[in-house]
């Protein structure tokens, strides 16, 4: 049986976001090419990422020389520079890179990148801002993940009013519009996902819930 071919990743733009992605991929033992037009920036990640290249991603010939055409996934992390991002995405498409993930600094940039063919566009600052805001509104939120603009998954400490009650008694989906998808004890790392209606919520429980982002923000967790 032949071994499964490992993927080749390319990260273009090595600011804080791009360098963190490139270093994480490299630390996981995966193949990654890290590219930036600043030699100083490239040198900063060279100790962690073996394959670093100083190149202007707007020059398709330089991308070819770096071997970008062999990539399975490219991450374009120049969200504040729309023209450079657009030309880079177009170059990647011309080189046949099958999956292109781009970082955008605002909704307008995101719209443009999607229109020219980026496979996915993320706004890390916006998404983090939403997470921080919701956490401030509800301090009992342990962690929160924005899946889409209107859908989140988060972990919370079981609210006082829910303790000692069965899930089917609480009717959380009907009243709050949330779904319990996992429960763990505060002394455990394992999350139980086989949740039934007769499950009684204990004081030491942490709940993983999924819901509409607006409903979550308004949810009373006292």
Helix (H/G/I), strand (E/B), else coil: 41: helix
Query: CA-CA distance, 138 to 100, in Å (whole number)?
Result: 35
Q: Can you give the pLDDT at residue 57?
A: 96
Angle of helix 16-27 relative to helix 39-46, nearest 10 degrees, comes to 30
Q: Can you give the pLDDT at residue 122?
A: 84
CATH for 130-217, options being 3.40.50.1400, 3.30.420.40, 3.30.70.1450, 3.20.20.210: 3.30.70.1450
Model pTM score: 0.62
Q: Can you give the pLDDT at residue 127?
A: 66
Q: Can you give the pLDDT at residue 93?
A: 96
What is the torsional sign of CA 191, 197, 202, 207? positive
Taking CA atoms, 139 is separated from 144, 198, 213, 219, in Å, by: 11, 28, 16, 11
Q: Can you give the pLDDT at residue 147?
A: 59
Written out in words, the top-level CATH class of the domain with range 8-122 is: alpha beta
Give residue limits of the domains in the chain. 8-122, 130-217
pLDDT tens, residue by residue, 113-131: 999 999 988 887 766 666 6
Tokens coding 113: 């990148």
Query: CA-CA distance, 65 to 61, in Å (whole number)?
Result: 6
- Positions in the chain whose pLDDT score sits under 50: 1-4
Query: CA-CA distance, 22 to 33, in Å (whole number)?
Result: 8
């Amino acid at each position: 049986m032949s071994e499964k071919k490992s993927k080749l990743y390319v990260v273009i733009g090595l600011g804080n976001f791009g360098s963190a992605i490139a270093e994480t991929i490299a630390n996981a033992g995966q193949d990654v090419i890290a590219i930036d037009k600043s030699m100083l920036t490239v040198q900063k990640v060279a100790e962690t990422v073996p394959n670093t290249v100083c190149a202007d991603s707007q020059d398709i010939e330089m991308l070819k020389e770096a071997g970008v055409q062999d990539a399975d996934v490219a991450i374009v992390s120049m969200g504040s520079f729309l023209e450079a991002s657009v030309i880079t995405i177009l170059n990647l498409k011309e080189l046949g890179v099958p999956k292109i993930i781009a970082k955008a600094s605002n909704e307008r940039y995101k719209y443009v990148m999607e229109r020219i063919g980026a496979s996915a566009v993320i706004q890390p600052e916006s998404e983090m801002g939403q997470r921080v805001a919701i956490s401030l509104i509800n301090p009992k939120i342990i962690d929160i993940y924005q899946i889409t603009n209107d859908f989140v998954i988060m972990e919370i400490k079981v609210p006082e009013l829910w303790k000692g009650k069965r899930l089917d008694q609480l009717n959380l989906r009907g009243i709050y519009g949330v779904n319990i998808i996992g429960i763990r004890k505060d002394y455990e790392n394992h999350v139980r996902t086989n949740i039934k209606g007769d499950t009684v919520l204990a004081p030491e429980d942490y709940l993983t819930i999924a819901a509409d982002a607006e409903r979550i923000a308004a949810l009373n967790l006292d």
